[in-house]
Amino acid sequence: MPNKKNTTYKAEIEKLPDKKIYINVNHLEKGEYELNVINKNKLLVKAKFNK
């Protein structure tokens, strides 16, 4: 049995700002989406968009 070499990969990602939320729409399937932003069981923002 041949010897396997252990390979270690390392990546560093920039830290995202603390108070921002990012949604990567590229990874969503095609269709209609609804985004609801809720705080303490109250709806703050409701947005619809298509991909």
Per-residue pLDDT reduced to its tens digit, 4-48: 788 888 888 887 677 888 888 888 899 999 999 999 999 999 999
Report pLDDT for 16.
66
Token pair for residue 5? 């070499």
DSSP structure class, residue 27: G
pTM value is 0.53
Report pLDDT for 49.
92
How big is the chain, counted in residues?
51
Is pLDDT at 2 greater than 70 in this prediction?
A: no
